[in-house]
Amino acid sequence: MAVARTKTDIMARLGAAGLGPRKLRGQHFLIDGNFLDAIVRHAAVGPGDAVLEIGTGTGVLTDPLADRAGAVLSVDIDARLQAIARQSRAWPETVRFFTGDVLAGKHRLNPDLCAIWAEVAGKLRRRLVANLPYNIATPLLANVLWSGGFVDDAVVLVQREAAERFVARVGSGAYGPMSIAVSLLAEARILRHVGPHIFWPPPKVESALLALRVRDAARARAWREAGLPELLATGFRWRRKTLRRAFPAARLEAAGIDPGARPQEVPPEAWPSLLTVPPS
């Protein structure tokens, strides 16, 4: 048996197992072979890489990753769906599967997964390559960035709107906490935009292939421990109001930030300065 790659084969495998796409879990199956090949090509995975795949699905991306990477850990919350992938081929010993949620709440990665990932990755370069379920993409990538060292880089397929928040510039409508985290901690670029036709069932939105390269892991951990993610969330709670709505004017002025500015007008590098000024 081989891994199902086409819409017809995927539908047949799911049907035989009494399964179908689950909207609540953001399940949209990649059925375009050319785009699948593009993901693999952009990721340029090799034997020196350990790859984390979030969203095993039927194994359509796990399959080429297994043939290229030094190690693969493929994760899916849906045990019955992942079972289809497990049974689709003889997987090499370098491939492991984890059934469970990648997140332990909105603000923390699953510690059990983290422990297994550390074991699987060892001294290899740590990489995230995945067709991410839409409903977890942003919180997952936020946790990846702020964790510092969980992965070195990522090539992921996400909703286009989410990808644009990752690369948004100060002053734009999409600029926010995610844009700031990326600017401070990583390098990001959108590799390709793609329409709904590459999925079954087709989503109602467009998608984008996003590349991230993580920078200073130690700085990410230090800022997270100091509370920068929470500070950003507070600052953007009232996007259309001035920052004095969220913070005392004296604190903003001490940090060199205009209290009359709106959060989307403050550049990324200015936000950490608020950490050096204690709340009054």
Better-predicted residue by pLDDT, 21 or 192: 192
Amino acid at 114: C
In this structure, is the dihedral angle defined by the CA atoms of residues 163, 164, 165 and 166, taken in order, positive or negative? positive
- pLDDT of 23 over the 80 cut: no
What sign for the dihedral angle of Cα 34, 131, 184, 265? positive
Is the predicted pLDDT of residue 26 greater than 90, yes or no?
no
Q: Is pLDDT above 90 for 21?
A: no
Q: How many CB atoms lie within 10 A of CB 274?
A: 24
Q: pLDDT tens-digit profile of 211-228?
A: 999 998 999 999 999 999
CATH superfamily of 227-276: rRNA adenine dimethylase, C-terminal domain (1.10.8.100)
CB burial class (10 A; 0-12, 13-18, 19+) of residue 79? exposed
* CATH homologous superfamily of 7-223: Vaccinia Virus protein VP39 (3.40.50.150)
In percent, the amount of the chain with pLDDT more than 90 equals: 90
Percentage of the chain lying above the pLDDT 70 cut: 100
CA distance 54 to 25: 12
Answer whether the bond into residue 278 is a cis peptide, omega within 30°.
Answer: no
pLDDT of amino acid 20: 84
- pLDDT tens track for 98-127: 999 999 988 899 999 999 999 999 999 999
* Local confidence band at 280 (pLDDT 50, 70, 90 cut-offs): low
The residue behind tokens 């950003």 is 232
Q: Which amino acid is at 258?
A: D
Q: CA-CA distance, 59 to 202, in Å (whole number)?
A: 18
- What amino acid is encoded at 58 in this protein? T
Query: What are the structural domain ranges in the chain?
Result: 7-223, 227-276
